[in-house]
Amino acid sequence: MSKPLKQIHLAAHFPGVNNTTVWSDPAAGSHIEFSSFAHFARTAERAKFDFLFLAEGLRLREQGGKIYDLDVVGRPDTFTVLAALAAVTDRLGLTGTINSTFNEPYEVARQFASLDHLSGGRSAWNVVTSWDAFTGENFRRGGFLPQEERYSRAKEFLATAHELFDSWHGDEILADQATGTFLRDARAGAFVHKGQHFDIQGRFNVPRSPQGRPVIFQAGDSDEGREFAAADADAIFSRYATLKEGQAFYTDVKSRLAKYGRRPEELLILPAATFVLGDTDEEAAELAREVRRQQVSGATAIKHLEFVWNRDLSAYDPEGPLPDVDPVVAEEHISRGRAQVRMYRDPVAIAREWRELAEANKWSIRDLVINTGNRQTFIGSPATVARTINEFVQADASDGFILVPHITPGGLDPFADQVVPLLQEQGVFRADYEGTTLRDHLGLAHPDAARRTGAPAERAAS
Partner 1 sequence: MSPTPSAHLHLAVALDGTGWHPASWREPVARPRDLFTAGYWADQITEAERGLLDFVTIEDGLGPQSSRRYERDERTDQVRGRLDAVLIASRVAPLTRHIGLVPTVVATHTEPFHISKAIATLDYVSTGRAGLRVRISARPDEAAHFGRRTIRRADAPDTPDAREAISELFDEAADYVEVVRRLWDSWEDDAEIRDAATGRFIDRDKLHYIDFQGRFFSVKGPSITPRPPQGQPLVTALAHQTVPYRLVARQADIGYVTPHDADQARAIVAEIRAEQQAAGRAGEPLHVFGDLVVLLDDSEAAARARLDRLDTLAGEPYRSDTRVFTGTASQLADLLDELASGGLTGFRLRPAVTGHDLPRVTGDLVPELQRRRRFRTAYDATTLRGHLGLTRPANRYATAAA
Contact track, partner 1, 25-44, x by CB under 8 A: -------xxx---x------
The minimum distance between CB 144 and partner 1, in angstroms, equals 11
The minimum distance between CB 21 and partner 1, in angstroms, equals 10
* Count of residues engaged in binding partner 1, rule: CB under 8 A: 75
Residues 14, 40, 51, 106: which binds partner 1 (CB under 8 A)? 106
Residues 6, 46, 110, 169: which binds partner 1 (CB under 8 A)? 110
Residues 338-397 that bind partner 1 (CB under 8 A): none
Residues 6, 64, 70, 357: which binds partner 1 (CB under 8 A)? 70
The region of 101-109, 388-396, 410-418, 427-435 touching partner 1 under the rule CB under 8 A is 101-109
Residues 149-208 that bind partner 1 (CB under 8 A): 168, 173, 175, 177, 180-186, 188-189, 198-203, 205-207
Residues 4-23 that bind partner 1 (CB under 8 A): 23
Distance, CA of 454 to CA of 66 (rounded, Å): 59
> Peptide bond before 409: cis, by omega within 30 degrees of 0?
yes
Residues 1, 2, 4, 74: which binds partner 1 (CB under 8 A)? 74
Cβ burial, residue 143 (10 Å; 0-12/13-18/19+): middle
Residues 242-301 that bind partner 1 (CB under 8 A): 297-300
Cβ burial, residue 107 (10 Å; 0-12/13-18/19+): exposed
Tell me the one-letter amino acid at 56: E
Residues 209-238 that bind partner 1 (CB under 8 A): 209
Instruction: Give yes or no for a contact between 238 and 398, defined as CB atoms under 8 angstroms apart.
Output: yes
CA distances 365 to 69, 319, 356, Å, are 20, 6, 12
CA distances 255 to 11, 226, 262, 295, Å, are 24, 11, 10, 37
Of 184 and 311, the one with the shorter C-beta distance to partner 1 is 184
Nearest CA to 326 among 305, 297, 340, 343?
A: 305
Q: Find the DSSP H helices in 137-221.
A: 150-165
Q: Under the criterion CB under 8 A, does residue 54 sit at the interface with partner 1?
A: no
The minimum distance between CB 407 and partner 1, in angstroms, equals 14
Of 77 and 326, the one with the shorter C-beta distance to partner 1 is 77
The region of 71-79, 274-282, 306-314, 416-424 touching partner 1 under the rule CB under 8 A is 71-79
Q: Which residues contact 216 (CB under 8 A, 6 or more apart)?
A: 124, 125, 127, 158, 232, 233, 234, 235
Cβ burial, residue 191 (10 Å; 0-12/13-18/19+): buried
The minimum distance between CB 401 and partner 1, in angstroms, equals 27
Q: Under the criterion CB under 8 A, does residue 142 sit at the interface with partner 1?
A: yes
Of 198 and 237, the one with the shorter C-beta distance to partner 1 is 198
Nearest CA to 365 among 376, 354, 378, 375?
A: 354
CA-based torsion, 105, 107, 110, 112: positive or negative: negative
The minimum distance between CB 148 and partner 1, in angstroms, equals 22
